Amino acid sequence: MQHELHPHSNLSVTNHIQDHGQDILISVPKEFSFTENYSHLSTATNESLYTLRDGMIYKAIAVDQEATIVEISNYDEHHMLIRFVDEHQSISPALRLGVAQYVYDWFDLGTDLAPFYTMAAHDPLLEQAVVSFYGLRNMGIPDLYEAICWGILGQQINLGFAYTLKRRFVEHFGRALTYEGETYWLFPTATTIATLTVDELSAAGMTTVKKCEYLIDTARLIVDGTLSKEQLLQVTDVKQAEKLLVKIRGIGPWTAHYVLMRCLRMPSAFPIDDVGLHNSIKHVLKMDAKPTKAHILELSAGWTLWESYATFYLWRFLY
């Protein structure tokens, strides 16, 4: 049985930060480019959960019941800078540490990409990608409910409309923080959505009754403790984790692997049926038609334990 590595499951960020109270310096690995990750984030033109301005990322982050707005920027080749923008807010040690952990996880700074680059340099599908996007990380979704919701909202629709649905969802049911006239949104919590009815979600612009049911059902599973990120992180095999997720109504193999890839950080997570992946392969290999599943399995034979990163880098050709 092939076992997965969970780079964040027991990882403490404290060895990677210098906490100066209002600012935090967070160390980044050699194979990291703030510019490449910023460029990737900028492709989401209707994103509701962060703002890009003058080369800096602004985002509201919640840790338990506390929340704050941070500015994330490049400091030098070895560090990113996290600045708490509201100098009048009392920032507790727990909130500062939680924000640092969130950013560390969001940028997937705990993964050593050197072996991936070594493998990809000799792979016909990946060799161009790792040169073009060197230093790009698998920008994740640290919160399990948010990751599942994004997977459900994106089912069977184009990416642009998925962002529209997410914005409606966030702005109707999320929490807003304001600073200097700007609004920064926090993703709706499972606790909030678990109390809603399908009609209430539909009234907010969700397009199908089934998706509304899935969003509410999943929220209730998380609230009652049936489903948790910690529980899934105990699973050491990607197939076993997929089986646990697809038992949940509304989660099929594509959504399961998307969550395992973007939230649980399972290296072998592989949404092989993803249309974007098919189009990326078609683009790189200059094919007349999209590849078959059998062809993708053949092309990916050398990606063992890097399927997730291979997929993410190939997606980057398109978005």
Q: Which residues are catalytic?
A: 274
DSSP letter string, 48-78: SS-EEETTEEEEEEEETTEEEEEEEEEEETT
The total of other beta-carbon atoms located within 10 Å of residue 156's CB is 9
Write down the residue that tokens 């009609």 correspond to. 199
DSSP tally for the chain: helices H, then strands E: 15, 8
Q: Are strands 66-76 and 79-84 parallel, antiparallel or unpaired?
A: antiparallel
Write down the residue that tokens 């780079």 correspond to. 7
Candidates 308, 279, 269; CA nearest to 139 is 308
The total of other beta-carbon atoms located within 10 Å of residue 82's CB is 27
Burial 223-251 (b: 16+ CB within 10 A, else e): beeebebeebbebeebeebbeebbebebb
Q: How far is CA 267 from each of CA 29, 88, 89, 116, 248, rounded to the nearest angstrom? A: 18, 41, 38, 11, 22
Q: How far apart are CA 319 and CA 314, in angstroms?
A: 9
DSSP letter string, 79-111: EEEEEES-TTS---HHHHHHHHHHHHHHTTTTS
Candidates 207, 202, 201; CA nearest to 219 is 201
Q: How far apart are CA 205 and CA 189, in angstroms?
A: 18
Token representation of residue 36: 């490449």
